[in-house]
Structure 1
Amino acid sequence: MTWMPDLDPTPGDAGACDLIDTVIVPRARDLGGFEVRRALPSPKRQMVGPFIFFDQMGPAEFLETGGIDVRPHPHIGLATVTYLFEGEIHHRDSLGSDLAIRPGELNWMTAGSGIVHSEREDPQVKGKPRKLFGIQSWVALPKHAEETAPAFEHVGRDNLPVLEDNGVSVRVIAGDLFGARSPVKTASETIYADVTLEPGRSMPVDATHEERAIYTVGGTIEIAGESFEEGQLLVFKPGDNITVRATGLLPARFLVLGGEPMDGPRYIWWNFVSSSKERIDQAKEDWKQMRFDTVPGDAEDFIPLPGR
């Protein structure tokens, strides 16, 4: 394959060296032996492109207890995006979707006017030593799609395009990069990719998308002479050419994310996202009054409305 050409920052050029608008170090939350790091929303930044929520799950290792057991809960006005590096999670939703997601695969669930889902581990997985490491993110829907019919799309590992060349590997999760496009349908222009660089290798992140960031997953990277470790969200300034280089002895892994700026501010409360506070209030009442659909095979349990 041939990489798209890009320009390296010019040493000593203040415009090229001052490429990063915001650095976000996610706040960690311990969920009983299982750590989640939340990068978005942040006091520094609510969204990058359509991405309004970004959680790193793990890395964690479970022996005979613990694990993922998220009871049925509702969403509106967004799409949930689940992508794993290690482990397995079983997804069920009120549309009847019922399947496990594994590393390198994609679950894209469009909530739209309202959906309910659960995320658990299968019984045969529990009680065995296992690992879990991945990212769950939400993308806000543009106003014209906020009340769209709910939908679910699972894309297998072999159906997400992978570009490899001389120590650089890119799996395109959503949108397009370097001429390769993910098959998942998005409501707005979106880029999401999983990148691995062997030590010493570099890759451009061009300025095609107005809002861009990378989330460092493993190893050490360098941008315009500055070094960054794993577990940071680096939000770039619009219009600048970026080159990311892997330093250190181990490969570097990061996610590229971003896309078209959202068409106005968004309100976020619990699992609800909307351009309207009144719509969120309606969703609260609908969940309280049990007006959402239930999850087939997982209808007996649910997460109550916070504060109830």
Structure 2
Amino acid sequence: MAITRELVRIESPKGEPGFLGAGHIARPLIYDNYEQSDPFILLMDDMLDKKDTTPAGGPHPHAGFETVTLVLDGELGADDHQLKSGDFQLMTAGSGVVHTEVIDKPGSMRILQLWANLGRENRKAVPRLQDLPLDHVPVINENGTHIRLYSGTLADITSPVQNYVPLLIADITVEPGVTSTLKIPANYNTFLYVLAGTVQVGELKNSLHKDQVGWLNKFDQNEESELKVTAGSAGGRFVLYGGKPLHENIVSHGPFIADDSEEIVQLYKEYRQGKMKHISTVPEAQHYKW
């Protein structure tokens, strides 16, 4: 008998003024209970409607985890590091990097940025960058269900993105009234974030609406499970996130994740001493352009 996934927790996070100034609304989807969200540390839905040319943002360090950026609308960055609507980037901060996000022109933008944990054995991995532009994202469109797969394997398609910790990330649109059954690992901690419309989840058909986050029940079995979603009368679009929990304690402080507080102190010391290089200087061998 198949393992079926059901909604066990529904959250309706509210947007708050963001650090980028006027026009920036940040909606925290994951932010304060790592034991519950493992291997996901933080997830922000950043919406920016910038009206001026005053630079916002700047260089900042990261270490001990990976940042996972999905651009839903607009553009982020410039030149070789520009991301456009539908593009995806995974940055392994690992042993430590400096990252810059400067927005200095009018325009609207919406991104989902995730902090994904690295296991102890990979905490100090050599920094690397993986870019997956929209044109190269694996896509399947069958029976009223459209899937863009950014990470992992789903519906017989596989993303080229390499993961230290198994991650499943997909942008899924289901046409009105259509039911889709998604096969996902039973031991992945999994949630849905609805971008548009409404979806009914599981055999119990609990409803999840626009801007809501729905967490699924969890299992320890290393086997397949089934997630049934049915779109409402206006259809439904959601981002599906799944990850294999690490079951490891972490210490989080500012832009750093570590195994203990002593390592946090050491990371700040390395940053102040200029030992963390800018991600733009990562060797070509560590910059994957899929």
TM-score by length of 2: 0.84
SS at 1:248 equivalent: strand
**Structure 2 vs 1, CA of residues 296 and 100 (structure 1 numbering), >3 Å: closer, same or farther?**
closer
| Matched ranges for 1:1-308 at <5 A | 19-31=6-18, 32-43=22-33, 46=35, 48-58=37-47, 60-64=48-52, 69-90=56-77, 98-121=80-103, 126-127=105-106, 130-210=107-187, 211-223=189-201, 224-239=204-219, 241-249=226-234, 251-294=235-278
* Deviation for aligned residue 1:84: 0.9
Is contact 2:174–2:237 with CA below 8 Å preserved after alignment? yes
Q: Counterparts of 1:219 and 1:8 in 2: how far apart (Å)? A: 27
Residue pair 1:169, 1:195 contacting (<8 A) in 2 also: yes
Deviation at 1:216, TM superposition (A): 1.3
Q: For this pair of structures, how many residues does the alignment match? A: 270
**Kept after mapping to 2: 8 A contact 1:54/1:136:** yes
Counterpart-to-counterpart distance in 2, 1:99 and 1:62: 20
One-letter amino acid matched to 2:236: A
Structure 1 residue ranges (4+ consecutive) displaced by more than 6 angstroms after TM superposition: 6-9
Tell me if the contact between 1:91 and 1:117 (Cα under 8 Å) persists in the aligned partners.
Answer: no
CA distance in 1, matches of 2:145, 2:3: 17
Give unpaired runs (5+ residues) of structure 2.
Answer: 220-224, 282-290
1:235 Cα shift?
A: 1.2
Q: Is the 8 A contact 1:194 1:256 kept in 2?
A: yes
User: Do 1:91 and 1:120's aligned partners in 2 also have CA atoms closer than 8 Å?
Assistant: no
CA drift at 1:227: 1.8
- Looking at structure 1, the residues matched to 3 and 249 of structure 2 have their Cα atoms a distance apart, in angstroms, of 34
| Distance apart, 1:164 and its partner CA | 0.4
Is residue 3–residue 186 contact of structure 2 (8 Å, CA) maintained in 1? no
Q: Distance in 2 between matches of 1:47 and 1:116?
A: 29
Q: CA RMSD in A?
A: 2.6
Residues 47 and 179 of structure 1: CA distance in aligned 2, closer, same or farther (over 3 Å): farther
> Cα offset for 1:282?
1.3
In structure 1, distance between residues paired with 2:207 and 2:3: 16
3-state SS of the aligned residue for 2:77? strand
Provide the rounded CA distance (Å) in 1 between the counterparts of 2:3 and 2:217: 15
Q: Which residue number in structure 1 is paired with residue 286 of structure 2?
A: none
More moved, 260-269 vs 103-112: 260-269
Given that 2:7 and 2:206 are in contact with CA atoms closer than 8 Å, whether structure 1 keeps it comes out as no
Tell me, in whole angstroms, the C-alpha distance in 2 between the residues paired with 1:147 and 1:225: 43
- Please tell me the residue identity of whatever aligns with 2:29: A
Query: Does the Cα contact within 8 Å between 1:23 and 1:235 map onto a contact in 2?
Result: yes
**Any conservation in 1 of the 2:97–2:279 contact (CA below 8 Å)?**
no
Q: Does the aligned pair in 2 maintain the 1:91–1:119 contact within 8 Å? A: no
SS at match of 2:185: coil
Distance 2:154 2:126 in 1: 28
Cα pair distance change 1:135/1:296, threshold 3 Å: closer
- Residues 138 and 295 of structure 1, relative CA distance in 2, 3 Å threshold: closer
More strand as a share of residues: 2
